[in-house]
Amino acid sequence: LKAENLVGGYEFIVGEKRVYVDAVSNVNIGFEESLVYGIAGESGCGKSTLLKLLYGFLAKPLTVKSGNVKLYISNNYIDILRLSDDVRRYKVWWKEISWIPQNAMSVLNPVQRIRDHFTEILTVHMDMDKEDALKYSLEHVEGLGLSKDVLNAYPHQLSGGMRQRVVIALALLLKPKIVLADEPTSALDVVVQRGVMQMLLDKQKEMKNSLVLVSHDMGIHAMVTNRLAIMYAGKVVEFGDTDAVFEKPLHPYTKALIDSLPRIGDKNPRQGLSGSPPDLSNPPPGCRFHPRCPFAMDICRKEIPPTIEIEKNRYVSCWLYAKR
């Protein structure tokens, strides 16, 4: 899956004025097979919006301004943003790519048993009859370590952790090649989080698909992702192997994120980043991080920094690394 020069955001009419919130601003990022990717950044930096665009979930007021999202299937690709709604919904979603939205538990239909959620996907997308669909669902949930009782329950009869497992099981039902998961554990108790995350990762290993994990929690990224993108104010400011990003962060914003993490045995207070992220309906010129950056130079206030490939699979967007 690959996003090229992707620009999108939210368009509102406020009084007489048209307001555009530039949530995803010229993002280029590629996701290879069989890897776990992380997308990190403060709330409001565009992580969830990027995920929606990658999935082609274009519900108003979200609009795409330009760019492509290419999904490679065999040796061909399709542009997710330019398919008809029907093709996207019935041929691509669930089968090739699936999305676990933020607060996904609440998308379960309260008046439907869990099994009906599963059988509906199978009858609609795979043309199965009811009986086969139920059999398939049973095998699928058991393969995920869930008991068949879960299928007979209504959503409200399940705990938060169990509902989230159900949502994940649904997303994996048709064995998509790529799974986009938006904060899949952040609504859960800490103790439950671990098990739910483990289920997602075990399945990723088994299915050898790719997983894109959005989280504001750098601890989760350090533990489970192979590659990491750091977003700030609608832009991917740094990208690389997760170990490399943590060991040698390049972008001043990434450094600040990592410096703010607690360390075992270190009793010094952690340094937080001062200031707050910019208003994306009126972003600052040049580098969007410049009002908070301790290294800001003149050029940073005027010109958007280029994205520089420092080495293979290692990118940073910052004037400090540009040869001028």
Residues that bind ligand SF4 (CB under 6 A): 251-252, 287, 289-290, 293, 295-297, 300, 305, 318-320
User: Least distance (Å) from ligand SF4 to the CB of residue 304?
Assistant: 9
Pick 203 or 288: Cβ nearer ligand SF4: 288
Pick 48 or 209: Cβ nearer Mg ion: 48
Pick 78 or 218: Cβ nearer Mg ion: 218
3-state SS, one letter per residue, for the chain: CEEEEEEEEEEEEECCEEEEEEEEEEEEEECCCCCEEEEECCCCCCHHHHHHHHHCCCCCCEEEEEEEEEEEECCEEEEHHHCCHHHHHHHHECCCEEEECCCHHHHCCCCCCHHHHHHHHHHHHHCCCHHHHHHHHHHHHHHCCCCCHHHHCCHHHCCHHHHHHHHHHHHHCCCCCEEEEECCCCCCCHHHHHHHHHHHHHHHHHHCCEEEEECCCHHHHHHHCCEEEEEECCEEEEEEEHHHHHHCCCCHHHHHHHHCCCCCCCCCCCCCCCCCCCCCCCCCCCCCCHHHCCCCCHHHHHCCCCEEEEECCEEEECHHHCCC
User: Least distance (Å) from ligand SF4 to the CB of residue 238?
Assistant: 10
The listed partner (ligand SF4, Mg ion, none) that binds 107, CB under 5 to 8 Å by sort, is none
Number of residues that bind Mg ion (CB under 5 A): 1
User: Least distance (Å) from ligand SF4 to the CB of residue 307?
Assistant: 11
Binding-site member from 25, 48, 185, 209 for Mg ion (CB under 5 A): 48
Pick 177 or 251: Cβ nearer ligand SF4: 251
Pick 48 or 242: Cβ nearer Mg ion: 48
The listed partner (Mg ion, ligand SF4, none) that binds 48, CB under 5 to 8 Å by sort, is Mg ion
Q: Six-digit token pair at 19?
A: 């307001």
Q: Are 105 and 164 in contact (CB under 8 A)?
A: yes
Pick 50 or 150: Cβ nearer Mg ion: 50
Q: Six-digit token pair at 28?
A: 């280029």
Cα torsion 97, 9, 106, 160: sign:
positive
185 binds Mg ion (CB under 5 A): no
Q: Which residue is nearest to Mg ion (CB)?
A: 48
The listed partner (ligand SF4, Mg ion, none) that binds 318, CB under 5 to 8 Å by sort, is ligand SF4
215 binds Mg ion (CB under 5 A): no
The listed partner (ligand SF4, Mg ion, none) that binds 88, CB under 5 to 8 Å by sort, is none
Pick 239 or 289: Cβ nearer ligand SF4: 289
